Amino acid sequence: MVEKYLVRNAADPEQVEKAKEKVETRDEQKINDIREVLGTRRGRRYFWGLLEWCGIFKTSNSDEHQIFFNEGMRNVGLKLLADVNEAAPEVYNLMLRESKEE
């Protein structure tokens, strides 16, 4: 796999500035994509299902080896939750209410 570098010469301020703009654009796109998904009941239901599946609402405590797996899953879930809270913090409570209705 060929990796694409944003900057070939870190001493070149122009390259660094262009790279910064690309990263900001990608971050904005990610946030807008998440907002779009969370804007629908189906999207919120899907996200909530992922959060539950990742185990963020339960303890990771288990036998010695399983705990590492559980914590890895939980870490992914916490990243998803952070994305939700960054994109649309008000949606978390809505997802919680909707999950209780179903």
Tokens at residue 71, please? 């914590």
Average pLDDT over residues 10-28: 79
Q: How far is 67 from 60, CA to CA, in rounded Å? A: 6
Is pLDDT at 13 greater than 90 in this prediction?
no
| Residue 63 within a domain | yes
Is residue 4 domain-resident?
no
Mean residue pLDDT across the chain: 88
Residue 3 lies in a domain: no
- What the block records as the tokens of 20 is 């910064």
- 5 domain-assigned: no
**Looking at this protein, which amino acid is placed at residue 62?**
S
The pLDDT value given to residue 41: 96
With tokens 């209410």, the residue in question is: 97
User: Is 78 within the bounds of a domain?
Assistant: yes
Q: Give the span between the Cα atoms of 56 and 78, in whole angstroms.
A: 7
Q: Is residue 1 part of a domain?
A: no
pTM above 0.75, yes or no: no
pLDDT digits (tens, 9 = 90+) for 42-90: 999 999 999 999 999 998 888 888 999 999 999 999 999 999 999 999 9
